[in-house]
A and B are shown apart, each in its own frame.
Chain A
């Protein structure tokens, strides 16, 4: 670890302005200082935890505990199946009391597989792994498998399994996404203020793993304090991979992966391509901290930093909350007046979703919970009529779309079920940021239309796959029947041929068999005749004796 590099980095200013900018974007009220004033605290583990079996993008894992099992903190509960999957560990010591499906806060309102744990009063440390000396280059494989074992997924909200991203070895730059552009959410901001060293170490571990040559922390200019803390920590560090901070003007949604890249590098990631194709890896602050926990502390991902905010919360702030902690427990802990609280928003107010069933648990995807007073300021027609106002073609949505799409066109095609056109208009590039719906003067729930369109496209794709499979099997059966028929026919033909040949042989006696049989028969006849003669002679002799 040469110190000269560090010195050269720290000698010039490590904070710079963002080079690029992205199309559109909005400036909603921030509401961030409700929760970013207090330092991070731990939340005591609740008496009961409901842990959804699927908490990440990709395949559902396999449950490896049984009903009634005594489990320890950090123990594996769900084992990943396949590449795009992640382990889930127990956040507490306790007993598995139920494996039946539970409400997990999914927008469908459907229940999903979950593990319910009754927790013990006394909790162990939960550090189940051996720490790894990540600076030793021979341990890279081990770090990669640790990231996988620890069940780390993207904690910015997308929950994409991290080990898939870190398996790339052609990365130039690791971008640490600390934009946190959505209103109310402050967990990444607070993490950089309180524990910047751990985040830096996590970033170094990942950068080292993917062989990145530099690390860029990307943040917005409304987080001055965390920028200060971070640059202070960077200037003090002795790590080898150079780090810098890029500050972008505050604008929503600069935290989107492709938007962040555009801000930092000034280049766009082409549609359908991943950042790794440009030599870039983007990781969220909290994800890197989880990597630090797994590699340095040996702690799997079983809790996360969650922003608890809103005007109904007693002590808003950022808390370490175990996965599976139900909203009901949080309501109790933060003295939320349930009468005033009709729904809770999980995630941010633009991209999150509201839940009305408060048994929903905190999962790997939950970065924020907003408990706000049921608002009385809604415009009357919004609640009275079921239909939104028609689109007036004002074009405001197009101006704010960060993905450079045409939101109006997407709306028309979604409304009229024209899925092919919808796809051609680039619906799959829509990041569902909600900027278009935010500016829409007709209050059209645009994102809901896009989600409807996207899931219709997914449905069609799934049906096509099923149809293709059925077609293959049908064709195969047809082929098999034909083949069997042909085989049978061939067999019959062969048998008939053989019979005919036999008959012919019999007639022609080509190999002399018939002749042999005839000869044998003749011999038998002859023998019989001669025996009869001899017997006749003997008979006459005895007769003669009797007479004499």
Chain B
């Protein structure tokens, strides 16, 4: 009888210690917010364009964490969907065409002589990439523009153009040799 008591007490004591340790850890090391949201947000391209139907990348990341489809981000494109699928251990799916198409990176440019200085685009820009003041000309800081095009609908005089970013020599990408007609060879090998 005593043995039974000892065994029971030992186990109860052990369980109590473990339980209090766990309880302590859950308070001490409490994670603020949902860490998976941040991880998803890292993968999203941060254009803040809202093409997914959410007002920015973070809200979309939150929605994905809640079970929204991962194929609603056209700027992220195929690579983005792949990365999300890998992160969330899901199937790779095609881009949802209702959200838009994957396109080359763009920026917007204001035709400055036509701008009336209404500040509507400034308010619409999610990344503060437009500078100007009321009744003064506005202009886009191109290096900060994500190409989300959110400034275009509010413009009352339609003076904002979408411009494709031209690749420069510095950010030129070596082509995939599998897609080249004639991959270059090593001349010395051919000669000898």
Binding site for B on A (CB under 8 A): 28-29, 31, 54, 60, 104, 106-108, 110, 112, 183-184, 345, 349-350, 353-354, 370, 372, 375, 377-378, 382-383, 386-388, 415, 434, 437-438, 443, 445, 448-449, 451-452, 454-456, 459, 462-463, 466-471, 473-478
User: Does B46 lie within 8 Å of A468, measured CB to CB?
Assistant: yes
Contact residue among A378, A452, A462 (Cβ-Cβ distance under 8 Å from B171): A462
With contacts A112-B169, A372-B191 taken as known, whether A386 is within 8 angstroms of B181 at the C-beta atoms is: yes
Q: Which of B117-131 contact A (CB under 8 A)?
A: 125-129
Nearest-neighbour CB distance to chain A for B37, whole angstroms, equals 13
Query: How near does chain A come to B189, taking the closest CB pair, in angstroms?
Result: 6
Q: Check A477 against B128 for contact (C-beta < 8 Å).
A: yes
Q: Is the CB of B188 within 8 A of A470?
A: no
Residues of A within 8 A of B178 (CB): 387, 415
| Distance between Cα atoms of A101 and B39 in the complex (Å) | 43
Q: By the criterion CB–CB under 8 Å, are A474 and B187 in contact?
A: no
The yes or no answer to B67 lying at the interface (CB within 8 A) is: no
Interface centre among A345, A445, A459 (most CB of B within 10 A): A445
> Which of B169, B181, B190 has a CB less than 8 Å from the CB of A110?
B169
Residue of B nearest to A450 (CB): B174
In the A-B complex, the 4 residue pairs with the smallest Cβ-Cβ separation, listed nearest first, are A349-B188, A445-B183, A467-B46, A473-B127
**Chain B residues within 8 Å of A, Cβ to Cβ:** 41, 44-48, 56-58, 125-129, 144, 146, 167-178, 180-192
> CA–CA, A319 to B64, complex, Å?
64
Smallest Cβ-Cβ distance to A104: which chain B residue: B169
Complex CA–CA separation, A443 to B184 (angstroms): 10
User: Are A106 and B172 in touch, CB under 8 angstroms?
Assistant: yes
Asked if A31 and B190 sit within 8 Å, CB to CB, the answer is no
CB distance from A273 to the nearest CB of B (A): 26
> Which residues on the B side are within 8 Å of A383 (C-beta)?
182
Q: How far is the CB of A80 from chain B (nearest CB, A)?
A: 16
Residues of the B chain whose Cβ atoms lie less than 8 Å from the Cβ of A104: 169
CB–CB B128/A473 < 8 A? yes
CB pair B174–A454 under 8 Å, yes or no, is yes
Tell me, in angstroms, the Cα distance from A354 to B45 when the chains sit together.
37
Q: For A467, what are the chain B residues with a Cβ–Cβ distance below 8 Å?
A: 44-46
How far is B38's CA from A475's CA once the two chains are assembled, in angstroms?
Answer: 13
Q: Select which of A28, A60, A378, A437 is within 8 A of B170 by beta carbon.
A: A60
Q: How far is the CB of B191 from chain A (nearest CB, A)?
A: 6
Give CA–CA (A473, B41) in the complex, Å.
Answer: 14
Nearest A residue (CB) for B44: A467
Q: Contact check, A470 vs B46: say whether CB atoms are below 8 A apart.
A: yes
- Who on chain A is nearest to B173 by CB? A455
Cβ–Cβ < 8 Å partners of B183 in chain A: 388, 445, 448
